[in-house]
Amino acid sequence: MSDIYDLHSHSTASDGALSPTELVLRAQQHGVTALALTDHDTTAGLREATQAAECAGIRLIPGIELSASFESHCLHIVGLNIDPQHPQLLEGIAKQQLIRDQRAQKIAEKLAKKGIADAYSTLKDVAGNGEITRLHFADFLVSRGYAETAQDAFDRYLSKGKPAYVPTVWASLADCVGWIRDAGGVAVLAHPLRYKLSTKWINKALVAFKTAGGEGIEVVTGRASVDDIRLSYLHATKHQLRASVGSDFHAPGNQWLELGRLAALPDGAAPIWQLF
């Protein structure tokens, strides 16, 4: 029988609500037979996820989601089938984690200026050894009554142009793709439509991504419509990139964004998993 793939998901190692073990069990319950754990700028959940997947009898593909700077844009690059121990990758991740932590402190300072105290120390406790993301800040703002929903927290405080937005320079697109390739993995541009790039800019980004050694693009993502899938697949064919599928699952509770709840790839698409 062929595998059911979900190649983009998060655990408590970054901004997911489930531990790596809980995530793997939920994936199995939802019929996924090959899951990639792709936490933001960390591989810390992979060991536990691999063990849980072994027990559950599903395949765990070690992954990561790196935040990459391309000109003034931030792109997310998913690395699949990486060696989590590879020194170049570990060195790169360590730099990203420092950037993340410094940014978190700056976001908290900006919130403090708005009269919202203690965000950094609170989120350090919440995240534990995991990476702090803006989703943590969004949940914090909701829990303190400063926003109705995570989306509302982004709209009021965290998005570009809002009071607690901190412009951030991440590693370059070329470096991120390079680290993934060094670690034996394949690089995939995550959720290509979420950056709201013009046609000119998405093409520019994809040329740079491909030149750096990028091999895939997410054609099917969690909430993609038929039109979204068609457009993403057009990007794939234009730039001769393989197609990936991933829910970008973060937490239970949203029936439209569940592990393994993914449309099929368009006919004729070259699946990224043929490379691993």
39 lies in the binding site for Mn ion (CB under 5 A): no
Residue 41 CB, nearest approach to ligand AMP (Å): 8
Which residue among 248, 259, 262, 273 contacts Mn ion (CB under 5 A)? 248
> Is the distance from CB of 67 to CB of 170 less than 8 angstroms?
yes
Query: Does 15 engage in binding with Mn ion (CB under 5 A)?
Result: yes
Query: CB under 5 to 8 A by kind: which of Mn ion, ligand AMP, none does 175 bind?
Result: none
Judged by CB under 6 A, the chain residues 178 through 237 that form the site for ligand AMP are none
168 or 203, CB closer to ligand AMP? 168
Measured distance CA(198)–CA(235) in Å, rounded: 13
* Nearest residue (CB) to ligand AMP, 133 versus 232: 133
Q: What phi and psi, each to the nearest 5 degrees, are found at residue 231?
A: -65, -45
State the burial class of residue 13 (Cβ atoms within 10 Å of its Cβ: 0-12, 13-18, 19+): buried
DSSP classification of residue 49: H
Q: Does 61 bind ligand AMP (CB under 6 A)?
A: no
**Given candidates 150, 180, 186, 219, which one binds ligand AMP under the rule CB under 6 A?**
150
E strand or H helix that includes residue 96: helix 87-113
Paired tokens of 116: 């919202």
CA 234, distance to chain mean position in Å, is 22
- Beta strand residue intervals within 138-206, DSSP E: 171-172, 186-189
Task: Tell me whether residue 138 or residue 241 sits nearer to ligand AMP (CB atom).
Answer: 138
Which residues are near ligand AMP by CB under 6 A? 15, 40, 67, 133-135, 138, 150-151, 154, 250
Kindly list the residues in this chain that would bind Mn ion in the complex (CB under 5 A).
Answer: 15, 65, 76, 190, 248
